[in-house]
Chains A and B, each alone.
Chain A
């Protein structure tokens, strides 16, 4: 992935995003013209208070939500106005999500959870034809996150840290270009959270994975290349511009 070093054009950019929700009759603005650019191989953290709109920004970038105003551009192409099926495809191929509450499917074992994105990608017959490859890919990722001994376990039998590692494995199994992390350490103690951050850092360094992480924890945010501060739906300032 040597070409990713060029960084002439951002891999993904959210431009002047506005988004509001309705609570009954009241319109509640969440994002008011927020923007964010991430270059290939960059690790960006977005920090802000609860309700500052940082999760919404992440969802809009990851096509889980659409902006009221503004554009999301991936590799020079606008993607927020694509049709539903193209958006589904992009979520599956380009983005990997990890969440504060891990969001593993409780009925499936760890291995099955990790394989889910690939099962979604392939039809029943496609899956059947490639089931060995898919399984190998999933096992590979699980071993990378250090859970090789837990593949048969259900999420309820795993610890918080293990669940988050499993969620990271699931996010990565489809070989995404961008990892969107929503408070990945928010529900973990400092030591376990530190382990998760190490994992994200090593993925960023070793595989040049682009990561956009949302957090409210300054110390966690500081581990990224760059921190963007969000308040009241607007970007406040570029906090640092230091290399990792």
Chain B
């Protein structure tokens, strides 16, 4: 009994022990916060990867793809239909994109992954609607700056929205006016000449095409001819504008055609789009011929998408699959390169894969779950989390050494009291357990406080972030960089429990040495100690 009484008293009267309680508390709180945020980020990232990739991907081993979409899909259905909720054919092929920067007139060329999709079935496999700009309101700094342009019930298609049509209309008009004035002045058209000169030395091939494009657009579209005929071109009928758009339509990854610019007045970052829905771009890719030849496609931008995975948003161009087939010479065989499958229940993935592997000869396709496809990234994140945990646990170990030092001090300070207790008949084990209980109590108090502090921090992390941003004057957590409006967190109770128990264990371990020293003190020498 005296053990408990004394260790409670020591806890209450030795303020130096507070130092070790605080270090345990901070260690535990840090571990909980970091783990929760890491887990939040990881699960958010997994969700995004998963959503973009679908549950299972059947992929052709070559870029030429596999023939006869219908037959392949039927084979998939026959092999594993019971597990499958939805599937969509896809063509993946690397390519280049070229578009004009409206701010300085330069032509921008970038490497992209062109993905031919069928939006309707793609929408059943993954949350495509959540990605597309026109289905979602535009939010900046938590304020809606543009409402959604389409209702959620509108089917996914390659049609331009009304505002995109109107925008296209105005742009074409302006272009045609420029061309006309250029003809009248007998001077070269400003808009088409500039990019050609500006980027000539970098990539002459694409520049030639770029210079060519604006003429092509002007020459080919009936709209332009109307403009020449009509005095009041703004009143032209909508149907004529529709025909102006190319049959190849694309959804562009937002990161390809946008950048973050700082507002000179407010200092705030905001998104600048270089290409709007309704603009035209040029894509080039390779045909399925042998050897593959470069093929150029004019395409009209229907929408931009943002999946939240930076890797995809800065490199993927979604295009209508039929046009991509046609341009690549795949339409005769109706070939595709992959089939994305969503399962009814993801737990059935191994069974579904086994069934599919029976249906497809292994030399032609690979069949993988999204996790297998992204295995490297996922395991990298796991390793990162593990290393971080080891480092953070070292912090608690450091706190443990603090406890050891402080306890040693307390044992020295209490030497005479230990002698007294022994003279009253306390056993060595009893004296030792005073200090073990003391360590245990300190660990419990420290880690409970740490758990409370950590959970509060996680609960109010966004408010804390706001406060820190306000104090430092700059955004600590920029949602535009991370694509999160709020810091995602996930508190795993097992993690909290093991962190708390680990900290308590370390506190007890650290008190063993001082406790043994206390137990071994000779009573007479302890009593004489001044």
Contact = CB atoms under 8 A, between A and B. Distances in A.
A233 B522 CA distance: 22
Contacts of A120: 2, 421, 424-426, 430
A117 B1 contact: no
A119 B426 CA distance: 10
Contacts of A117: 424-425
Interface stretch (B5-13, B134-142, B194-202, B238-246): B5-13
Query: Of residues B6, B13, B420, B425, which shows the largest number of chain A Cβ atoms within 10 Å of its Cβ?
Result: B425
B5 A119 contact: yes
B527 interface: yes
B425 A92 contact: yes
A119 B428 contact: no
B424 A92 contact: yes
A108 B2 CA distance: 10
Nearest to B419: A103
A119 to B, nearest CB: 4
A64 B417 contact: no
Contact of B6 (A85, A97, A107, A123): A107
Interface in B414-462: 416-417, 419-428, 430
Contacts of B417: 105-106
Nearest to B526: A64
A97 B524 contact: no
Contacts of B497: none
A124 B427 contact: no
Nearest to B425: A92
B524 A59 contact: yes
B420 A105 contact: yes
Contact of B9 (A64, A89, A107): A107
A124 B6 contact: no
B424 A97 contact: yes
A88 B527 contact: no
Contacts of A53: none
A240 interface: no
B4 interface: yes
B15 to A, nearest CB: 13
B416 A103 contact: yes
B523 interface: yes
Nearest to A59: B524
A103 B1 contact: no
B5 A85 contact: no
A117 B430 CA distance: 13
Contacts of B10: 107
Contact of A119 (B2, B416, B423, B524): B2
A124 B7 CA distance: 14
Contact of A121 (B6, B423, B425, B524): B425
A103 B425 CA distance: 14
Band of interface residues on B: 20 to 34
B524 A65 contact: yes
A87 to B, nearest CB: 9
A155 to B, nearest CB: 11
Interface in B1-52: 1-2, 4-6, 9-10, 13
B420 to A, nearest CB: 5
B427 A64 contact: no
A116 B424 contact: yes
A112 B425 contact: no
Contacts of B9: 107-108
Contacts of B4: 124
B426 A88 contact: yes
Interface string A49-70: 0000000100100101100000
Interface in A66-104: 84-85, 88-93, 97, 99, 103-104
A64 B423 contact: yes
Contacts, number: 74
Interface in B368-403: none
Contacts of A104: 420
Nearest to A106: B417
Contact of B425 (A65, A89, A99): A89
Nearest to A103: B420
Interface string B500-530: 0000000000000000000000111001000
A175 interface: no
Contacts of B422: 64, 88, 91
A170 B4 CA distance: 19
Nearest to A170: B424
B2 A99 contact: no
Contacts of A90: 425
A105 B1 contact: no
Contacts of B416: 103
B421 A116 contact: yes
Nearest to B424: A117
Contact of B424 (A91, A107, A123): A91
Contact of B427 (A85, A97, A122): A85
Contacts of A88: 422, 425-427
Contacts of B523: 59, 64-65
Nearest to A122: B1
B6 A105 contact: yes
A3 to B, nearest CB: 26
Nearest to B423: A97
B420 A91 contact: no
A88 B422 CA distance: 7
Contacts of A85: 427
Contacts of A84: 427-428
A123 B9 CA distance: 18
A107 B13 contact: yes
A56 B522 CA distance: 13
The 10 closest A-B pairs by CB, nearest first: A92-B425, A127-B1, A107-B9, A119-B2, A119-B1, A91-B425, A88-B427, A103-B420, A64-B523, A117-B424
24 contacts: A59-B523, A64-B422, A64-B524, A84-B427, A84-B428, A85-B427, A88-B422, A91-B425, A93-B425, A103-B416, A103-B419, A103-B423, A105-B417, A105-B420, A106-B417, A107-B10, A107-B13, A116-B2, A116-B424, A117-B425, A120-B421, A120-B426, A124-B4, A128-B1
Interface of A: 56, 59, 62, 64-65, 84-85, 88-93, 97, 99, 103-108, 112, 116-117, 119-124, 127-128, 170, 174
Interface of B: 1-2, 4-6, 9-10, 13, 416-417, 419-428, 430, 522-524, 527
Given A84-B428, A116-B2, A117-B425, 15 more contacts: A59-B524, A64-B423, A85-B427, A92-B426, A93-B425, A105-B6, A105-B417, A107-B6, A107-B13, A108-B5, A108-B9, A112-B5, A120-B424, A122-B1, A170-B424
